[in-house]
């Protein structure tokens, strides 16, 4: 059976030579077609079968699993993000070959869920070590989270200078690793301006003056 008879290219480029492998390829086509059409219910059923087949390297298809988890509208919406985060943490242990990529996805999902401190904890755990320390995206995420956490919270009108310094450090590192990233450059300028606010005239309103203190300290995790 020629490869052209299948709709989608699978992870295994070899043509199936048994009936079982042909059925698996057909089921893979069904899953991909359902995803393209937005029929995630059927796609999840096909995925559940494929993940149990020894011929399928399901770990390498973790991005498909994340997509299907996030599109599960049949369950409780508030649990979808938590399930995806738990899955990604599990995949970091099961699939170390793609740990950097999975970590980026995990941090992004934590940010989307509003769990900024958890996201920063994950980054603090890995960024000091190689090869994570040379990943510009991870440094950019850490810088943006610290920049957000440095802003006045609640009724406070003061900026957390500790987070602000850390944000600038990570953004500078990301800029060195990826000089063409204009987004990082923009936020780096914002962090620098926040760290060195312009002094207003004596008769300026207090609301327009930024007060800075250094009471807050970022939390650190230690890798086991």
Residue 218 has pLDDT above 80, yes or no: no
- The larger pLDDT score, comparing residue 115 to residue 61, is at 115
Q: Which of 149-163, 174-188, 200-214 has the lowest mean pLDDT?
A: 200-214
For the cut 90, the answer to whether the pLDDT of residue 140 exceeds it is: yes
Which of 79 and 66 is assigned the larger pLDDT? 66
Least confident interval from 50-59, 111-120, 172-181:
50-59
pLDDT at 196: 64
Query: pLDDT value at position 202?
Result: 45
Asked if 184 and 175 count as a contact pair (C-beta separation under 8 A), the reply is yes
Q: Which domains does the chain have, with CATH numbers?
A: 1-74 (no CATH), 77-197+211-219 (1.25.40.10)
Q: What is the pLDDT of residue 3?
A: 46
pLDDT at 74: 54
pLDDT for residue 15 is more than 90: no
Range scoring the smallest mean pLDDT among 38-42, 104-108, 193-197: 193-197
For residue 222, what pLDDT band results from cuts at 50, 70 and 90?
A: low
Predicted confidence band of residue 71 (pLDDT cuts 50, 70, 90): confident
- Verdict on whether the full-model pTM lies above 0.75: no
């Amino acid at each position: 059976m020629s490869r052209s008879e299948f709709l989608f290219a699978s992870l295994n480029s070899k043509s199936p030579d048994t009936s079982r492998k042909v059925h698996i390829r057909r089921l893979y086509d069904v899953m991909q077609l359902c995803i393209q059409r937005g029929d995630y219910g059927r796609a999840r059923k096909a995925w559940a079968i494929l993940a149990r087949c020894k011929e399928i390297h399901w770990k390498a298809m973790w991005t498909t699993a994340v997509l299907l988890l996030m599109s599960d509208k049949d369950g409780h919406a508030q649990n979808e993000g938590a399930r995806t985060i738990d899955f990604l943490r599990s995949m970091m242990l099961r699939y170390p070959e793609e740990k950097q990529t999975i970590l980026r996805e995990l941090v992004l999902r934590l940010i989307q869920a509003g769990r900024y401190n958890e996201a920063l904890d994950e980054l603090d755990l890995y960024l000091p070590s190689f090869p994570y320390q040379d990943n510009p995206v991870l440094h950019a995420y850490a810088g943006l989270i610290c920049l957000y956490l440095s802003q006045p919270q609640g009724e406070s009108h003061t900026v957390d200078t500790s987070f602000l310094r850390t944000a600038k450090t990570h953004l500078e590192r990301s800029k060195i690793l990826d000089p063409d990233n204009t987004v990082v450059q923009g936020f780096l300028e914002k962090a620098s301006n926040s760290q060195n606010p312009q002094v207003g005239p004596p008769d300026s309103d207090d609301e327009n003056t930024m007060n800075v203190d250094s009471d807050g300290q970022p939390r650190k995790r230690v890798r086991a």
